[in-house]
Structures are given as C-alpha cells and as structure tokens.
Structure 1
Amino acid sequence: MDRRIDHYDVFTPLQGCVNDARSVAGVLGRHANNDINFQTPKLLLGEDQYASASRRELRSSIEALFDDDPDIALLYFAGHGLIDSAGGYLCSSDCQDGSDGVPLVDVVNFARKSKAKNKIIILDSCHGGILGNYQADTGTAEIDEGMTLLTASSEKQYSYEGGNGAPGVFTNLLVDALEGKRQAGAVQAA
C-alpha cells in the first residue's frame, strides 16, 4: 500500500511525492519475470486540493492494511513528517500543525498487532527515524519479529525532494536499488 501526499492545505506543498509513490508501486508491483507481486495494492494520493488525503483516510487505510492477514503488509509513505515532544507524525493534506497528523506510535501499534507474517514500513518523510524509537524517554524501540523499518531520515534529519517534481533522493535510490541499478562509486563485493 502506498501513501503519498503532494498537496497540503497549510504546509508547504511538495512536488515529487505522488510520482515517488507511483515509482515505488511500479517497481514493487511485479516480479522480474512480470508475475504480480502484490495482489491488492492500494494507492492513496494527495495530488491536489481536489484529490487530497485526509487524516481520517490516511489513518484508516494504514489500519486496514495491517488488519488484513497477508504474507507481507507493506506501507510506503512519502510526504511531510513532523516531530514534537509527544512523538512523530505522518502529515496528511489537512494537517494544521503536524501534531494533528497520524501518530507514528499508532502506525507501529497497527503493525505490531497485525497477523501479517512480514510487516514493512518505508517512510520518505522528515524525522521518520523516530519510528524505531518513538519512546525516546526510554530509548527502547517497539519493533516485533517480522517488522522491517526503512526511513529516509533519522529522528532529527530532514528528507529531501529532488525539486520540480523530480524524485526524492531516498526514493530515487530505493527504486534504483530495487531495479538492480548500480550507483557511481558503489562498492562491489569481490
């Protein structure tokens, strides 16, 4: 399931998240032999004011993803992320200040309770790395067996767009890696 948001009512609009989500969906949608990889992929795109992604839609679709019982439940989110003293949030199109977004603690809890054998969460958003240690006061991560987290940034870092609709830096590298492309200067195993 892909979630990507370019349009924000209050926050600075983004330009490449929707394209990033489509790229990730494309590369993960089929195996190299062209067999279907995910039977029921769902895209939630916040492209513009007429096709925005509300907090309610975002939260309920994440909950529904992890409420199912597949072999793999994969969540990819590209959009604004925010942290404050209470934790981290995925920001929907209708967020006013970020703390009214989807709390990352909810995302982790949905995944932890999921019957899916493998739960994968990929975040191309600022501060996404807080997901693994959302209880900063204890320093513990709430990750269970079968959970994989991949984030574009640490708790204190920003995620970067390519600009003018170009892919985000993280997603561009992710898609290239999944397609088997080599990056200049990449280390090759002997």
Structure 2
Amino acid sequence: MRRALCVGIDLYPFGALRGCVSDAERLATLLAKHQDGTPNFECKRIVAPNGGGTDVVTRVKLKQAVEQLFKDKAEVALLHFSGHGTENNLGGYLVTQDATTYDEGLSMNDVLKMANDSKADEVVVLLDCCHSGHMGNVPVINNNATMLREGVSIITASRGDQLSVEVGGGGLFTSLVVDALEGGAADLLGNVTIPAIYAKVEAALGAWDQRPLFKSHVSKVIAIRRCAAPISIAILRELPALFPLPAEDFPLSPEYEETHPDKEESKTKIFFKLQNLSRVHLVVPVKAKHMYDAAVQSKACRLTAAGRYYWRLAKDGRI
C-alpha cells in the first residue's frame, strides 16, 4: 500500500508557470513502477496546464486531496507539489489558482498537521515551490523549529526565504529528484532512499543557488524506488566467504588471472567476483595499481571501508 499525490499547477491568473505540470507527470510516471517494471506507488495526479481544462485547483480541492492521501493506512504516503509558493507572517502556502490576498492557498501548517496525523507508516513530502522551506516549521510566528512525528520526511526545494528556479521546462529541484530516482541516488542494492535523494539534490546545488532543506524524524530508512543494482547481490552475499575476517587481506597469485598461462579455473571464478567488487569500490588491490597487477605480481586485495560495511550486512543476513 503505497500512495502518491503529484500536483502541478502552471495556469495561474497571475504569473503563469511552464514546467510544473510536466514535473508532476514525470514524477508520477517514475514513482508508479520500480525500474524492473514491478508496481510501486499508486499515483494520483492533479494538474492545471496552461490553456486547458475546466477543473480549477482551488484551495478546497487541494486540501481535500491531501487529506485523502494522508487519512488512510498505508506503507508510504507521498505528496509532491510543483507550483507557486508564498509566505506571510503566519508561514508558507502552496498557492492555488483561486488565491487572493490573505487567502493564498493551502497553508503548509495545515499540510504539516495532516502529515503528522496521518495513519501512513511513512510520510514523504516533496515541495518544489518558492518559500517551501517553511514546510515542517512549528506553526508559531517567527519560530523556525521543526516538529515532526516519527516517520515523516520532508525535502523542500529552497529555504523559507528563497525562490525556486525553473530550468529547461521544469523545476530544477524536481529535475534533480527525478535523476536521483532514476538511479543516480541508488545504493549497491539498487535502493533509492529519501536521505540519498536529498544528498544528490544538495550536492548538485552550489553555494549561490537555492538551498534545499531536509527535515526528517525516522527510525528506519525505506526505499522509495528500486533500480538495477550495479553489482550482483549474489556476489555481495558472498563477501563473508571471500573475506572470513573483514580486516584481513585476500592473497592473490597468477593462477587467479584468466589470461595467465598458469590460470586455474576455480581461482579465476573467484577473481571475477573480486574484480566486480573492485569496480564498485568495495575491494582494492594492495601495493598494485590494478587488480590484474595484484594477481600477476602475487600481491593481495582487501576490503575498503564501504566493503566492510556491506560485509557486515551480508554476515548478518541483511542482504
């Protein structure tokens, strides 16, 4: 039970935007399935493209949709909003098409309350709008503290006092999130998590750009999407067999190298696995530039710090 609500508003009577609908459509399409095609989120779209449609995304309509997203039991409930955002002395707002002065749209404080009250095990909020950093703040004037119940994670495109940028026909923030979900933030098991998505987005934005914010209160990190793993998980599970002790080197010899005259089939099969582990930086040659050199020169290889981390996961049966 995974639900996602993707909202994109381009058509505003004031300051029309260009990429918000495409942001919502891209994210919903991506979240609907894992990379191998298996189902992931059941996605609902609410969009308002320029020049089309009789439906208007009003404050009431948006609030009802967000309330419906969060009210029922689910493994994950995810909200993505791309559109205008604004602020006043009471906090931030997701601007709707019927916005007026003093009634700009759906209050981020209301979204926070619905997220905190949600029956979903995990709640994820992704906001690509100006002043989105207000999301998650305690609804008290001039209070920047954050109060989230366990299981809630928020990533915003910018700080509360910053604007969010559109580039190439879409929001810069959403574009980076899409890249992360397509595999740019996947770990060696192929899992894309919320902290990894934020790390990818944050690293791509410089000191002079909009600064994304990450607010979270979780006791476990879940995969939002699964992508193709860069190495066979079966090989990862063999790490404790290849390295009985994680701090000990694995001695090599020419018999391990496929192209050497003294090769031994059983050893070349092991070396194939070690080379694959080396390609993803879990194993490094000792006193040699390449794994090939380590083998033909009868040197050794050893686990990196990341290799020891995955060794422990495999040892504990968590892979």
Is TM more than 0.5 here?
yes
Residues 1:43 and 2:45 are matched in the alignment:
yes
Task: Measure how far apart 1:136 and its partner are.
Answer: 5.1
Kindly provide the CA deviation profile for residues 40-61 of structure 1, in whole angstroms up to 9, marking residues without a partner as x: x110111146343111111110
- Amino acid in the other structure paired with 1:113: D
**1:74 corresponds to:** 78
Q: 2:137 aligns with which of 129, 133, 152?
A: 133
**1:101 corresponds to:** 105
> Which is bigger in relative contact order (C-alpha 8 A, separation at least 6)?
1
Paired with 1:125 and 1:114, the residues of 2 have a C-alpha distance of 23
Q: 2:183 aligns with which of 177, 180, 184?
A: 180
Gaps of 5+ in 2: 186-199, 205-279, 282-319
- Amino acid in the other structure paired with 1:142: M
- Amino acid in the other structure paired with 2:45: L
Does the residue aligned with 1:123 lie in a helix, a strand or coil? strand
| Contact 1:129 1:152 survives alignment (8 Å) | yes
Residues 1:33 and 2:32 are matched in the alignment:
no
Residues 1:5 and 2:9 are matched in the alignment:
yes
| Contact 1:81 1:98 survives alignment (8 Å) | no
Residues 1:123 and 2:141 are matched in the alignment:
no
Paired with 2:143 and 2:58, the residues of 1 have a C-alpha distance of 32
Does the residue aligned with 2:12 lie in a helix, a strand or coil? coil
Kindly provide the CA deviation profile for residues 104-158 of structure 1, in whole angstroms up to 9, marking residues without a partner as x: 0000000101110000000000011111224353432121110000110110111
The sequence identity of aligned pairs, in percent, is 37
Q: TM-score, normalised by structure 2?
A: 0.54
| Contact 2:83 2:128 survives alignment (8 Å) | yes
Task: Measure how far apart 1:98 and its partner are.
Answer: 6.4
Paired with 2:115 and 2:184, the residues of 1 have a C-alpha distance of 30
**2:276 corresponds to:** none
- Amino acid in the other structure paired with 2:162: Q
Q: 1:20 aligns with which of 17, 20, 23?
A: 23
Gaps of 5+ in 1: none
Does the residue aligned with 1:62 lie in a helix, a strand or coil? helix
Paired with 1:178 and 1:24, the residues of 2 have a C-alpha distance of 9
Aligned residue pairs total: 183
Paired with 1:178 and 1:98, the residues of 2 have a C-alpha distance of 37
- Amino acid in the other structure paired with 1:107: V
Task: Measure how far apart 1:170 and its partner are.
Answer: 0.7
Q: 2:157 aligns with which of 131, 152, 161?
A: 152
Residues 1:162 and 2:164 are matched in the alignment:
no
